[in-house]
Amino acid sequence: MSAGRGSGGHGGRPRRKKGHQEEEHENHERWAVSYADMMTVLVGLFIVLYSISQVDQAKFEELRESLAIGFGNRLPSVIEGSNGALTGVEAVEVTPDLAADVGSDAVPPVAPAPETQGMTQEQLDFIAAAAELNHLQEIAQQVTGTLDAQGLGDRVRLRVTERGLVIGMVADDVFFGADAATLTGTALRVIDSVSPVLARATEQISVEGHANTVPSVRYPTNWELSSARATEVLRRMVDAGGIPGNRIAAVGFGDQRPIDEAGVDPLESNRRVDVVVLSGVPEDIRALLPVVAAQQQGL
């Protein structure tokens, strides 16, 4: 009889539906893997931070010495200028940064050496200032050697300030007469000797004229007198000395920047012109130049 077969012919068991799959067991510990990866990265970060915070003073001294050797001098030398070097005179920045205007003569940025990695910015600035001081001293030595060969070594005074190398044409009345801007024979010889050295350099040059406090008769004021003196020196350096005109400028200070030293005649000594080789390094490094120079001299 048909009634005994049941509904499916298989004892009443329901058939399994096609396409049905058992659900995959959910992993509740996957967060542990991500956590372990994060902790590994953090440990590596702290190791790197610790390693770069350690500055080896011995390696720093070796680096400074190697940089000095690279610039041609094992230990940066002290400027050997003439007998009457100006001391205690505060240099004031009054001229614009000519290198920024010219562009083509601007000092290109220097890529940091591998040895400097891990050093502080103060240490890097000190090293850069020492290198710049050494460069300016080399120019000063060339100027001194050229003048000594002409018997004019005692006619200029050299010093390094935060502005650069200052070549002071200060020797009583051998450069300019009273109330005059005409160059004397000695002034022409000094300028013609110094100009080739400065022409080979790349720095901008500021020619700065000065006058004493005696009112001028030939010029409306001492401003015009000092400017005329600076212009006369500039023209000689450009016309006869071969210095490019886009690297040099003239400025007059009148009687507002006098030399005030014991035993110096203020009337004769301030009939002068300063030729300044302007340093092209950043301002914060230039500010360290007198400090580095004083350390070299043991002051």
Query: What six digits make up the tokens of 297?
Result: 């001299």
Distance between start and end Cα atoms, the chain: 127
Q: What is the pLDDT of residues 63-98, one digit of tens each?
A: 666 656 655 554 444 444 454 444 444 444 445 555
Nearest to residue 250, comparing CAs of 238, 265, 266? 238
* Neighbour-count burial of 90, counting CB atoms closer than 10 A to its CB (0-12 exposed, 13-18 middle, 19+ buried): exposed
Check whether 169 has a pLDDT greater than 90. Answer: no
Examine the pLDDT at 14 and tell me if it is beyond 90.
Answer: no
Q: Which candidate, 279, 229, 218, places its Cα nearest to that of 254?
A: 229
Query: What does the pLDDT look like over 32-44, one tens digit per residue?
Result: 778 888 888 888 7
How many helices (H) and strands (E) the chain has is answered by 9, 5
pLDDT confidence bin for 235, thresholds 50/70/90: very high
Give the pLDDT confidence score for residue 85 in this predicted structure.
Answer: 46
CA distance 157 to 102: 28
| pLDDT per position as a tens digit, 254-278 | 999 988 776 667 777 788 899 999 9
Residue with the two structure tokens 């003439």? 82
Alpha-carbon gap, residue 156 to 130, rounded angstroms: 24
Contact 222, 255 (CB under 8 A): yes
Q: 281, 269, 292: which is closest to 89 by C-alpha?
A: 269
Residues 215-234 pLDDT 10s: 999 999 999 999 999 999 99
Report the C-alpha gap between 143 and 215 in whole angstroms.
Answer: 34
Looking at 15-29, 45-59, 226-240, which range is the least confident one? 15-29
> So what's the pLDDT on residue 138?
96
Closest CA to 234 of 220, 251, 217: 251
Beta strands in the chain (DSSP E): 157-161, 164-169, 205-209, 248-252, 273-278
- Going from the N-terminus, what domains does the chain have, and what CATH number goes with each? 76-296 (3.30.1330.60)
What are phi and psi for residue 137, nearest 5 degrees?
Answer: -65, -35
